[in-house]
Amino acid sequence: MDNFKITIVVFMALFFIGIGIHLIHPADYNNISNIREANDEEVNEEEENQDSGLDIPEDYEHEVTIFWFWGVTCPVCSRQKSYLDRWEKHEAVEIKRFEIENNRENRQLLIAIAQAYELDRVAVPLTFIGEDYWVGFDERLVEALEEAIVDCTTAEEKCPLPTDKVSPLRLP
């Protein structure tokens, strides 16, 4: 590559990292194998006693499962994690966390789901709730995410998982 192309590639990488989106290398688009959910850090007792902040009725219809793809070096992912930790305190909310930088299987799962959703770009943080998804995160999205969570708990039918859209041949 000549210097101009290298400059453009570096600029684009810094741009995406700066806005909190980490791209996945296209070489990881093949060979879906075993899926392992990332282990999450333990929540201390003080955090466990905090309110989830969600306006879910006591007589909710369904539990909701959130799929969250993130990276350890992603500063935006860290900001979103604090909201997810709080929301997960509600008994109706389950969060499946998939760290993609150090876990090839999680990267491959993300790519399979992204292909099923026909996403043009694959980046983290990427959050799936029901049939909706959000790429990136900032505090302006909190209301939309909370609304999607509440909608899934009060819907007539249980909200689908992102893996429901993936062909069984693409999953191990």
Domains, in order of start, for the chain:
3-170 (3.40.30.10)
Q: What pTM did the predictor assign? A: 0.71
pLDDT at 121: 86
Q: What is the residue whose two structure tokens read 């093949």?
A: 30
pLDDT at 111: 92
Q: What is the pLDDT of residues 23-33, one digit of tens each?
A: 554 444 333 33
Report, in this order, helix, strand and coil percent for the chain, each rounded to 5.
40, 15, 40
Whole-number average pLDDT of the chain: 79
Q: Which portions of the chain are predicted below pLDDT 70?
A: 1-50, 169-172
